[in-house]
Amino acid sequence: KAGVTQTPRYLIKTRGQQVTLSCSPISGHRSVSWYQQTPGQGLQFLFEYFSETQRNKGNFPGRFSGRQFSNSRSEMNVSTLELGDSALYLCASSLAGGSRYNEQFFGPGTRLTVL
Amino acid sequence: AQSVTQPDIHITVSEGASLELRCNYSYGATPYLFWYVQSPGQGLQLLLKYFSGDTLVQGIKGFEAEFKRSQSSFNLRKPSVHWSDAAEYFCAVGSDYKLSFGAGTTVTVRA
Protein backbone atom coordinates (compact mmCIF):
# COMPACT_ATOMS: atom_id res chain seq x y z
CA LYS A 1 0.00 0.00 0.00
CA ALA A 2 1.43 3.37 -0.97
CA GLY A 3 2.21 5.82 1.80
CA VAL A 4 1.25 9.44 2.20
CA THR A 5 2.45 11.51 -0.72
CA GLN A 6 3.08 15.23 -0.71
CA THR A 7 3.72 17.52 -3.63
CA PRO A 8 5.80 19.40 -4.32
CA ARG A 9 8.70 18.28 -2.15
CA TYR A 10 10.51 21.60 -2.36
CA LEU A 11 9.23 25.08 -3.03
CA ILE A 12 10.80 28.52 -3.11
CA LYS A 13 8.59 31.60 -2.95
CA THR A 14 9.01 35.26 -2.23
CA ARG A 15 7.33 37.33 0.44
CA GLY A 16 3.78 38.31 -0.38
CA GLN A 17 3.14 35.40 -2.70
CA GLN A 18 0.76 32.57 -1.95
CA VAL A 19 1.39 28.84 -2.09
CA THR A 20 -0.66 25.65 -2.27
CA LEU A 21 0.61 22.34 -0.98
CA SER A 22 -0.99 19.01 -1.79
CA CYS A 23 -1.36 15.79 0.17
CA SER A 24 -2.68 12.39 -0.88
CA PRO A 25 -3.47 10.11 2.06
CA ILE A 26 -2.98 6.39 2.31
CA SER A 27 -5.73 4.58 0.45
CA GLY A 28 -8.73 4.12 2.72
CA HIS A 29 -7.69 6.83 5.16
CA ARG A 30 -10.29 9.54 5.54
CA SER A 31 -8.56 11.93 7.91
CA VAL A 32 -5.78 14.29 6.88
CA SER A 33 -3.81 16.51 9.25
CA TRP A 34 -1.22 19.19 8.58
CA TYR A 35 1.73 20.19 10.73
CA GLN A 36 4.38 22.89 10.47
CA GLN A 37 7.91 22.09 11.57
CA THR A 38 10.47 24.83 12.23
CA PRO A 39 13.71 24.84 14.24
CA GLY A 40 12.36 27.47 16.60
CA GLN A 41 8.80 26.30 17.20
CA GLY A 42 9.14 22.58 16.57
CA LEU A 43 6.17 20.60 15.32
CA GLN A 44 2.91 22.50 15.45
CA PHE A 45 -0.56 21.36 14.47
CA LEU A 46 -2.25 23.35 11.72
CA PHE A 47 -5.58 21.62 11.06
CA GLU A 48 -7.33 18.31 10.58
CA TYR A 49 -9.97 17.31 8.03
CA PHE A 50 -12.35 14.40 7.87
CA SER A 51 -14.93 13.92 5.15
CA GLU A 52 -14.28 17.43 3.86
CA THR A 53 -14.96 18.96 7.30
CA GLN A 54 -12.40 20.67 9.49
CA ARG A 55 -12.62 19.13 12.95
CA ASN A 56 -9.78 20.94 14.66
CA LYS A 57 -7.54 23.90 13.98
CA GLY A 58 -4.29 25.03 15.54
CA ASN A 59 -3.28 28.50 16.57
CA PHE A 60 -2.25 29.93 13.21
CA PRO A 61 -3.33 33.15 11.48
CA GLY A 62 -6.09 33.12 8.90
CA ARG A 63 -3.48 33.22 6.12
CA PHE A 64 -3.24 29.48 6.63
CA SER A 65 -6.17 27.56 5.24
CA GLY A 66 -6.94 24.09 4.05
CA ARG A 67 -9.52 21.92 2.44
CA GLN A 68 -10.25 18.31 1.76
CA PHE A 69 -11.81 16.83 -1.32
CA SER A 70 -14.30 13.99 -1.63
CA ASN A 71 -11.47 11.55 -2.46
CA SER A 72 -9.79 12.52 0.86
CA ARG A 73 -6.94 14.36 -0.83
CA SER A 74 -6.14 17.61 0.91
CA GLU A 75 -4.56 20.94 0.10
CA MET A 76 -3.30 23.68 2.32
CA ASN A 77 -2.84 27.26 1.23
CA VAL A 78 -0.74 30.02 2.70
CA SER A 79 -1.46 33.51 1.44
CA THR A 80 0.70 36.60 1.73
CA LEU A 81 3.80 34.62 2.60
CA GLU A 82 6.14 35.88 5.31
CA LEU A 83 9.77 34.93 5.94
CA GLY A 84 8.66 33.09 9.08
CA ASP A 85 6.52 30.73 7.03
CA SER A 86 9.68 28.97 5.86
CA ALA A 87 9.28 25.48 7.25
CA LEU A 88 8.77 21.82 6.57
CA TYR A 89 5.06 21.19 6.15
CA LEU A 90 4.04 17.67 7.03
CA CYS A 91 0.85 15.92 6.13
CA ALA A 92 -0.43 12.89 8.02
CA SER A 93 -3.32 10.57 7.37
CA SER A 94 -5.32 8.22 9.56
CA LEU A 95 -8.32 5.93 9.35
CA ALA A 96 -10.31 8.23 11.64
CA GLY A 97 -12.79 5.90 13.26
CA GLY A 98 -15.00 6.79 16.19
CA SER A 99 -12.18 7.64 18.58
CA ARG A 100 -11.13 11.23 18.99
CA TYR A 101 -7.63 10.14 18.14
CA ASN A 102 -6.21 7.65 15.67
CA GLU A 103 -2.70 6.66 14.70
CA GLN A 104 -1.27 9.03 12.12
CA PHE A 105 1.07 8.19 9.26
CA PHE A 106 3.24 10.97 7.92
CA GLY A 107 4.38 11.93 4.47
CA PRO A 108 7.90 13.13 3.62
CA GLY A 109 6.91 16.79 3.83
CA THR A 110 7.14 19.85 1.62
CA ARG A 111 10.09 22.13 2.32
CA LEU A 112 8.94 25.73 1.78
CA THR A 113 11.51 28.49 1.61
CA VAL A 114 10.31 32.09 1.58
CA LEU A 115 12.82 34.67 0.32
CA ALA B 1 -4.50 21.41 27.46
CA GLN B 2 -2.22 18.55 26.67
CA SER B 3 1.55 19.02 26.51
CA VAL B 4 4.71 16.97 26.19
CA THR B 5 8.14 17.65 27.63
CA GLN B 6 11.33 16.05 26.44
CA PRO B 7 13.98 17.21 28.93
CA ASP B 8 17.00 16.20 26.87
CA ILE B 9 17.71 18.23 23.76
CA HIS B 10 20.71 16.19 22.70
CA ILE B 11 22.11 12.81 23.75
CA THR B 12 25.34 11.19 22.61
CA VAL B 13 25.68 7.45 22.99
CA SER B 14 28.30 4.93 21.92
CA GLU B 15 27.37 2.27 19.42
CA GLY B 16 26.31 -0.86 21.28
CA ALA B 17 25.41 1.04 24.44
CA SER B 18 21.88 1.36 25.79
CA LEU B 19 19.71 4.37 25.15
CA GLU B 20 16.90 5.94 27.13
CA LEU B 21 14.97 9.01 26.03
CA ARG B 22 12.72 10.75 28.50
CA CYS B 23 9.21 11.99 27.90
CA ASN B 24 6.75 13.55 30.34
CA TYR B 25 3.19 14.42 29.39
CA SER B 26 0.38 16.48 30.76
CA TYR B 27 -3.10 15.27 29.94
CA GLY B 28 -6.26 14.96 31.97
CA ALA B 29 -7.57 11.64 30.73
CA THR B 30 -5.94 8.39 29.64
CA PRO B 31 -3.42 9.52 27.06
CA TYR B 32 -2.68 8.18 23.64
CA LEU B 33 1.14 8.30 23.51
CA PHE B 34 3.54 7.93 20.64
CA TRP B 35 7.21 7.96 19.79
CA TYR B 36 8.26 9.04 16.31
CA VAL B 37 11.70 9.16 14.71
CA GLN B 38 12.84 11.59 12.05
CA SER B 39 16.01 11.21 10.00
CA PRO B 40 17.44 14.31 8.31
CA GLY B 41 15.25 15.50 5.46
CA GLN B 42 12.63 12.87 6.13
CA GLY B 43 9.11 12.74 7.51
CA LEU B 44 8.17 11.13 10.80
CA GLN B 45 8.15 7.38 11.27
CA LEU B 46 6.11 5.83 14.06
CA LEU B 47 8.24 3.73 16.41
CA LEU B 48 5.54 2.66 18.86
CA LYS B 49 2.31 3.68 20.48
CA TYR B 50 0.40 3.28 23.74
CA PHE B 51 -3.36 3.39 23.81
CA SER B 52 -4.20 1.15 26.77
CA GLY B 53 -3.38 -2.19 28.36
CA ASP B 54 0.15 -3.45 28.94
CA THR B 55 2.30 -0.54 30.05
CA LEU B 56 5.42 -1.89 28.34
CA VAL B 57 5.05 -1.58 24.60
CA GLN B 58 7.31 -2.94 21.92
CA GLY B 59 7.99 -1.10 18.72
CA ILE B 60 9.97 -1.36 15.57
CA LYS B 61 13.76 -1.34 15.28
CA GLY B 62 14.17 -2.90 18.74
CA PHE B 63 12.68 0.02 20.66
CA GLU B 64 10.37 -0.26 23.64
CA ALA B 65 8.67 2.24 25.90
CA GLU B 66 7.12 2.09 29.33
CA PHE B 67 4.03 4.04 30.35
CA LYS B 68 4.06 5.14 33.99
CA ARG B 69 0.87 6.93 34.94
CA SER B 70 2.14 7.85 38.43
CA GLN B 71 5.09 9.69 36.90
CA SER B 72 3.28 10.95 33.78
CA SER B 73 6.12 9.48 31.77
CA PHE B 74 6.55 7.47 28.61
CA ASN B 75 10.28 6.83 28.24
CA LEU B 76 11.79 5.21 25.18
CA ARG B 77 14.53 2.61 25.47
CA LYS B 78 16.78 0.52 23.30
CA PRO B 79 19.22 -2.02 24.76
CA SER B 80 21.92 -1.64 22.12
CA VAL B 81 22.07 1.25 19.66
CA HIS B 82 23.25 1.02 16.09
CA TRP B 83 24.82 3.84 14.10
CA SER B 84 21.61 3.98 12.05
CA ASP B 85 19.70 5.07 15.18
CA ALA B 86 21.20 8.53 14.92
CA ALA B 87 18.17 10.74 14.34
CA GLU B 88 15.74 13.03 16.09
CA TYR B 89 13.12 11.46 18.31
CA PHE B 90 9.76 12.96 19.16
CA CYS B 91 7.32 12.02 21.86
CA ALA B 92 3.69 12.98 21.25
CA VAL B 93 0.27 12.82 22.87
CA GLY B 94 -2.85 12.45 20.78
CA SER B 95 -6.23 14.02 21.47
CA ASP B 96 -9.00 15.90 19.67
CA TYR B 97 -7.86 14.65 16.27
CA LYS B 98 -4.33 16.04 16.64
CA LEU B 99 -0.86 15.27 17.95
CA SER B 100 0.96 17.51 20.39
CA PHE B 101 4.70 16.97 20.14
CA GLY B 102 7.61 17.47 22.45
CA ALA B 103 10.57 19.54 21.29
CA GLY B 104 12.49 16.44 20.29
CA THR B 105 15.75 14.78 21.33
CA THR B 106 18.62 14.52 18.88
CA VAL B 107 20.60 11.31 19.25
CA THR B 108 24.19 11.13 18.09
CA VAL B 109 25.86 7.72 17.93
CA ARG B 110 29.63 7.59 18.21
CA ALA B 111 31.69 4.68 17.00
What is the per-residue pLDDT across B26-68, written as a single tens digit (0 to 9) for each? 987 778 999 999 998 888 999 999 988 889 999 999 999 999 9
CB contact under 8 A, A31 and B101: no
Q: In the 8-state DSSP scheme, what is residue A51?
A: T
Q: Contact, A92 vs A36, CB < 8 A?
A: no
User: A47-90, pLDDT tens digit by residue?
Assistant: 999 999 999 999 999 999 999 999 999 999 999 999 999 999 99
Region B9-24 average pLDDT: 97
Amino acid at A106: F
**Residue A10's CB: how many other CB atoms inside 10 A?**
9
Q: What is the pLDDT of residue A101?
A: 66
pLDDT band (50, 70, 90) for residue B103? very high
**Cα A28 to the center of its chain, rounded Å:** 18
Q: Looking at residue A97, what is its pLDDT?
A: 55
**B93: nearest CA partner in chain A:** A101
Average pLDDT score over residue span A7-23? 98
Closest CB to A48 among B98, B100, B104 = B98
End-to-end CA distance of chain B: 41
Mean residue pLDDT of chain B comes to 93
H or E segment at A53? strand A53-57
The closest of A56, A44, A113, A107 to A82, measured between CA atoms, is: A113
| Cβ burial A80-102 (10 Å sphere, 16+ → b, else e) | ebeeebbbbbbbbbbebeeeebb
Do residues B76 and B90 touch, judged by C-beta distance below 8 A? no
Check if the beta carbon of residue A31 is closer than 8 Å to that of residue A94. Answer: yes
Task: Name which of B99, B102, B103 is nearest A45 (Cβ-Cβ).
Answer: B99
Which residues in chain B are closer than 8 Å to A35, comparing Cβ atoms? Answer: 99
User: Cα separation of B104 and A21, whole Å?
Assistant: 25
